[in-house]
Chains A and B, each alone.
Chain A
Amino acid sequence: MGMKAKTGTSLYTHFWGPLHLVALTILVLFGQLTLMGSPIDFIPLIMGASLLLLIYFVGWVIRFNRLGDPYLWTIVAMLISLGQAMQYRLSPVNGVKQFNWILIGVLVYLMVYVLYATLHGRFRSVFFHYGLLIALFAITLIFGTEINGARNWLKLGGHTFQPSELGKIVFVFFMAACVTTPERLRVKWSGREIDPKFVMMGLVYVLMGFFAIQREFGTAMLIFGVYLTFIYVFERDILFTVYNLGLVSVLGFVAFKTVSHIEVRVDTWLDPWIDIGGTGYQITQSLFAIGSGGFFGSGLGMGYPKFIPAVRTDFIFAAICEELGILGGIAVIMLFFILLYRGMKLALRIEDRYMKAVAFGLTMTIGYQTFIIIGGVIKLIPLTGITLPFLSYGGSSMVSSFATLGLLQALSGQILRKEAAQLETGYNQ
């Protein structure tokens, strides 16, 4: 055993070990949930068993068909197990709904894999993706419904969907197209040619403006983060990144002074204790919850995370910290870390510049999203409403997270293998 690990056989050799640990986690978590009900609640038992089957089944599909990087699924399996147990503990009714979303998410994950593995050569035009983004905004503005003061939801049948969740994936494709084919952005204006990067900058700021109109400041921040990293990595001009940072600081300050919503958020961030009963209620409850958890937490079902408003969506991390302890919280952050590492390694490995940029952007999207919401919950940065991938309650978030994962999986699987085979035949002939 020790020998084998040293000789380093293929990626799949030690595949099942970590997956068994995920299974053990599911047993512990859902076993507790089952015993917690009086009389004994059988729904978590069925749910846990189904989750167990699902995790092994998808693992087998990946192992058997060699769908690329197996760690992506292993890490996400751990995350959804923790998230699902927490969701059921917070609200059994919504826990069941969330479980359905996980099932749909996994289906989307596998479908996106197949779709992207076949279609990755197409749809690389800058304007196609930009058009798609604008169309998403237009649809939301015209047909959108208002929930919690933000007109960013679409009603489809009985379900509501947040188009911006899809938007941030399309944005990555748009950015990838921008940095790999900047010549497409060449525009002439009053006889002078404008540098493509300024055209790109203009397009991105318009998008951010659209997000701000819809009051999605979290998503605006997210796409700005992704944009900034893209230009930092792909543009030679470092000063350009600095200008962007400066410009957005000015814009942020103007927004802070003019939009009362943002001003409240920032003031609450600076000192939530002034108005504990009002604007500071949510964040202070979150801090109390994290604090009361201590190192090992109160134990599943033993804490009082329900005092935090929006605990199922934005504040799920605080609930995890309360019941599984700060060690549990750090474990979640570390899980995201290793997920990002896998994405980064993939981006380094791919030869095609466009797909390299896509892998990089998708990884950054997950990274920034995690940072923005966990940072908000622990009062490191001002709070903006955004979901924690794979853990927060909500169909749009779950589906878009799994779609992102499916894209990364496709890039690490068939696409990477095909590239390698092409390189190999190139050497021989």
Chain B
Amino acid sequence: MVELISMAAKYVLVVIIYVFIYKIVQLIYTDIRMLMGRDSVAALLPHLKLMTPMGTKGAQSIAEIYPILRPESLIGRSKKCLIILPDPYVSSEHVRIDKVGDKFFVEDLESANGTLLNGKKLERRIELKDGDKVSLGRIDLVFSEGGR
């Protein structure tokens, strides 16, 4: 019985370890692509990534990294904003991100076309989580806590 388990376990074990290595290498691959993004140092800090479509299947790549260091960051078409997005579907002051301690909150500033958070309409002030996608008009911004 024990021999049987041992026999089965050794194949299972090799598979698990190689899946593990594959996972890490996959992450490293993502990591290297990330490094090739423009401001690799900015990626250490909490930041928003401006995504651009790539190819046809909805894949995206990083076009720009905006670190968020101020207590209030405005995003919109106007020159007053920290992140200026010259897009006709974006309002002049479209959305605001507040930094409260270690936490980040996103709030729609009654924009004409509204804001989506992970595909759902943003109706109140919501805390941002790592990997959240904020969509304004046709533009996607992905929030990252940073940390490398």
Please report A residues at the B interface, Cβ cutoff 8 Å. Answer: 3-14, 17-18, 21-22, 24-25, 28-29, 31-32, 35-36, 66, 68-69, 71, 74-75, 78, 82, 296-302, 323-325, 327-328, 331, 334-335, 338, 341, 345, 349, 412, 416-417, 420-421, 423-424, 428
Contacts and interface: CB of A to CB of B under 8 A. Distances in A.
Contacts of A324: 10, 13-14
Contacts of B83: none
B20 A9 contact: no
Most B C-beta atoms less than 10 A away, residue of A11, A17, A66, A331: A11
Nearest to A9: B131
A413 to B, nearest CB: 9
B44 A18 contact: no
A7 B14 contact: no
A324 B18 CA distance: 13
Interface stretch (B58-66, B73-81, B87-95, B104-112): B58-66
A416 B45 CA distance: 11
Interface in B83-125: none
A36 B1 CA distance: 10
A71 B142 contact: no
Given A6-B59, A300-B10, A331-B14, A68 B20 contact: no
B44 A335 contact: no
B147 A68 contact: yes
A296 B14 contact: yes
Interface in B15-29: 16-21, 23-28
Given A10-B131, A28-B12, A299-B7, A424 B19 contact: no
Interface of B: 2-3, 5-7, 9-14, 16-21, 23-28, 30-31, 33-34, 40-42, 44-45, 49, 51, 58-60, 62, 67, 69, 130-131, 133, 142, 144-148
A345 to B, nearest CB: 8
A66 B147 contact: yes
Contacts of B34: 8
Given A3-B58, A13-B130, A424-B41, A25 B17 contact: yes
Interface SS, A side: helix
A80 to B, nearest CB: 14
Interface SS, B side: helix
Nearest to A36: B2
A349 B40 CA distance: 9
A73 to B, nearest CB: 12
Given A7-B142, A31-B9, A417-B147, 5 more contacts: A7-B60, A18-B23, A24-B16, A300-B13, A338-B25
Nearest to B67: A424
Given A10-B145, A324-B10, A302 B3 contact: yes
B21 A300 contact: no
A421 B10 contact: no
Given A3-B58, A7-B142, A334 B9 contact: no
A331 B18 contact: yes
Contacts of A6: 59-60
Contacts of B20: 18, 21-22, 25, 78
Contacts of A25: 13, 16-17, 20
A69 B145 CA distance: 14
A195 B31 CA distance: 41
A341 B29 CA distance: 12
Q: Which 7 A-B pairs have the closest CB atoms?
A: A420-B44, A299-B6, A9-B131, A21-B20, A10-B144, A299-B10, A331-B17
A21 B28 contact: no
Contacts of B16: 21, 24-25, 28
Given A21-B19, A25-B13, A420-B44, A10 B146 contact: yes
